[in-house]
């Protein structure tokens, strides 16, 4: 096995113990006769030791207190919203009435809008054909009321 391939494996699978036994032995044999690859292995192992010395810090006590406060707030909000929903579910008649009224309003709005649109379209069409007459027909003529 060539040095390049061995070094590639030393930096990864060999160092991490993720190598098949056959390959592992092959690398071990290479390391016995190659000082360059052997040196690389030693340097990598030294770095690994260095990384193991990373300080593991304790979590500050007050962190849980902050989290606890936020969790309590979250829970209280959940209880409030659940409470409202449960009340509505219990009072089926009220819920049904609110829903029906809302639907009626929406439906009424649509009807009103479509009728209104039709009237306006008709007026505008007439105005384009005979502008003055339409204005007379609007019943807003000043003279009609005062003369």
Partner 1 sequence: MGRIIDISQETLKKAVTDIEAFREIYKKTAGFVYNLALQIIHNQEDAEEITQDVFMKVYRNLKNFHFRSSFSTWLYRIAINTTINRYRKRIKEYKLNIEYKDGISSDSFENKLGEELGKLDSKIIVDKLLKLLDEEQRICLILREIEGLSYGEIAKILKIPLNTVRTRLKRARENFLKYAKKELIKNEV
Site residues (vs partner 1, CB under 8 A): 8, 11-13, 15-16, 18, 43-44, 47-48, 50-60, 63-64, 66-68, 70-72, 74-75
Nearest approach, Cβ of 23 to partner 1 (angstroms)?
14
Would you say 71 or 138 has its CB closer to partner 1? 71
Nearest approach, Cβ of 107 to partner 1 (angstroms)?
37
Distance of alpha carbon 21 from alpha carbon 121, whole angstroms: 86
Would you say 67 or 99 has its CB closer to partner 1? 67
List of residues 6+ apart from 36 with CB closer than 8 A: 3
Nearest approach, Cβ of 28 to partner 1 (angstroms)?
19
The two structure tokens encoding residue 113 = 């809008």
Would you say 28 or 43 has its CB closer to partner 1? 43
Given 3-state DSSP classes, what are the helix, strand and coil percentages for the chain, each rounded to the nearest 5? 85, 0, 15
């Amino acid at each position: 096995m060539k040095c390049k391939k061995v070094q590639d494996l030393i930096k990864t699978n060999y160092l991490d113990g993720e190598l098949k036994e056959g390959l592992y032995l092959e690398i071990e044999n290479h390391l016995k006769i190659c000082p360059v690859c052997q040196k690389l292995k030693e340097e990598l192992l030294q770095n690994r030791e260095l990384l193991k010395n990373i300080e593991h810090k304790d979590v500050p006590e007050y962190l849980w207190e902050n989290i606890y406060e936020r969790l309590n707030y979250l829970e209280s909000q959940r209880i409030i919203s659940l409470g409202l929903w449960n009340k509505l579910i219990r009072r089926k008649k009220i819920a049904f009435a609110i829903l029906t009224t809302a639907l009626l309003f929406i439906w009424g709005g649509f009807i009103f809008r479509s009728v209104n649109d039709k009237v306006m379209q008709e007026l505008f069409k007439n105005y384009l054909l005979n502008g003055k007459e339409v204005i007379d027909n609007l019943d807003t003529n000043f003279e009609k009321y005062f003369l």
